[in-house]
Amino acid sequence: MKVIRSPLFYVGDKAKLVPQIVPHFPKDIALFIEPFVGGGSISINSPAKAYLLNDFNTHVSGLHAWLLEQENFDILMRKIEGRIREIGLKSSFLGDAIPEELKTEFPKTYFAHQNKAAYESLRALFNQGTDKDFLDFYLLLIFGFNRMIRFNGSGEFNVPVGNVDFNSNVADALKNYLNWASKSNIQVKAGDYRKAIEIEDLPINSFFYFDPPYLIAQAEYNKSWGESEELEFFNYLDSLTNANVKWAFSNVLTYRDQTNKLLVDWAQKHQVVDLQSNYISYHDNGDKKPREVLVKNYE
Ligand SMILES: C[S@@+](CC[C@H](N)C(=O)[O-])C[C@H]1O[C@@H](n2cnc3c(N)ncnc32)[C@H](O)[C@@H]1O
């Protein structure tokens, strides 16, 4: 299966699990709803007649909305190239060579050294602006450390420069996303997952895929998710099941020494598919494999 990478290169994205997850989805989907969309790796790789993408992080949903506004790849690339030149960033895709002295002096981190000053001035400009500029935000993401999205308590984007650049993989991801978008009917929303759509408004053959924060694993977006959020989420899934709506969701049942007991109990009444886990964390020492699963309410 050919997998399209999301242009958001989302930390913890599901790109590697697409071949294991997507074949379990229903074949004929009228509306594919992804209420915790993040980078959207699953949506962009799932055939459907229409899509509804939602994320309560307005920077994430805003990036999708901004990408969907773009006319085509060539016009977007011209805007990106113009801004990269204006700011003084260097990009291998745009043919910028790395000076040999920089490669010798910093054999593993020359991209970061090359772009640090320009990146920091772009970040300062972005943080000064009241109306967020998504082209600048996208460039901060692409040139930022681990392609992370992170803000400090005062709402300032605070990711340092990364040892990455705008390369051909980045360009391919953009092109593929815009190609998918041009052939699809896509709506983006920013809010809590329960507000993405009213159950009464669902067309026949709607399907939900959820990738919520995990109760027992650590990531930036997992911090606000505790036991009460987990139980509310199960209630929401139950309400969909009661309305005869199909759904599937990704999660981890065990992670290092922890077990998500709430999920183990609740999942007994559903189908649980084991996945070959790719869950890697910088806390891991690799001696204990997490149990990563897809839970679904249909055969
Ligand atoms: C695990 S990530 C999704 C990653 C995605 N599957 C991918 O492949 O890129 C979970 C997302 O849920 C969002 N989120 C967390 N709580 C939410 C809520 N209550 N309602 C809507 N979105 C939420 C976070 O902002 C985050 O982007």
Residuewise pLDDT in 10s, the chain (299 residues) = 899 999 999 988 999 999 999 999 999 999 999 999 999 999 999 999 999 999 999 999 999 999 999 999 999 999 999 999 999 999 999 999 989 999 999 999 999 999 999 999 999 999 998 778 999 999 999 999 999 999 999 999 999 999 999 999 999 999 999 999 999 999 999 999 999 999 999 999 999 999 999 998 766 656 688 999 999 999 999 999 999 999 999 999 998 888 999 999 999 999 999 998 765 554 555 556 789 999 999 99
Scanning the structure block, which residue is given the tokens 């011209």?
78
Are 38 and 55 in contact, with CB atoms under 8 Å apart?
yes
Q: Distance between CA atoms of 274 and 76, rounded to whole angstroms? A: 40
Q: Distance between CA atoms of 299 and 282, rounded to whole angstroms? A: 36
The answer to whether the CB of 39 is under 6 A from ligand 1 is yes
Domain boundaries, the chain: 74-171
> Which residue CA neighbors atom 12 of ligand 1 most closely?
36
- Give me the sign of the Cα torsion angle 261, 265, 270, 272: positive
The answer to whether the CB of 57 is under 6 A from ligand 1 is yes
Mutate to test the pocket of ligand 1, among 221, 224, 249 (most ligand atoms within 8 A of CB): 221
> Per-residue pLDDT tens for 252-284?
999 888 899 999 999 999 999 999 876 555 455
The H or E element containing residue 32 is strand 31-34
* Ligand 1 atom at minimal distance to the Cα of residue 36: 12
User: What's the confidence (pLDDT) of residue 218?
Assistant: 64
Are 198 and 54 in contact, with CB atoms under 8 Å apart?
no
The answer to whether the CB of 213 is under 6 A from ligand 1 is yes
The answer to whether the CB of 14 is under 6 A from ligand 1 is yes
The answer to whether the CB of 55 is under 6 A from ligand 1 is yes
Are 31 and 54 in contact, with CB atoms under 8 Å apart?
no
* Ligand 1 atom at minimal distance to the Cα of residue 15: 8
Are 166 and 80 in contact, with CB atoms under 8 Å apart?
yes
Q: Distance between CA atoms of 207 and 21, rounded to whole angstroms? A: 14
- CATH architecture of the domain with residue range 74-171: Orthogonal Bundle (1.10)
Residue 145 per-residue DSSP state: G
* Interval between CA 56 and ligand 1 midpoint (Å): 7
User: What's the confidence (pLDDT) of residue 282?
Assistant: 46
User: What's the confidence (pLDDT) of residue 15?
Assistant: 94
* Ligand 1 atom at minimal distance to the Cα of residue 57: 25
- Angle at which helix 134-143 crosses helix 58-69, to 10 degrees, equals 110
Q: Distance between CA atoms of 274 and 295, rounded to whole angstroms? A: 9
Q: How would you classify residue 69: left for phi > 0, otherwise alpha for psi between -120 and 50, otherwise beta? A: alpha
- Phi, psi (deg, nearest 5) at residue 246: -85, 145
Using alpha carbons only, give the angle 210, 282, 264 rounded to the nearest 5 degrees.
40
* Interval between CA 208 and ligand 1 midpoint (Å): 14
Q: Distance between CA atoms of 283 and 275, rounded to whole angstroms? A: 21
> Which residue CA neighbors atom 2 of ligand 1 most closely?
38
The 3-state DSSP class for residue 293 equals strand
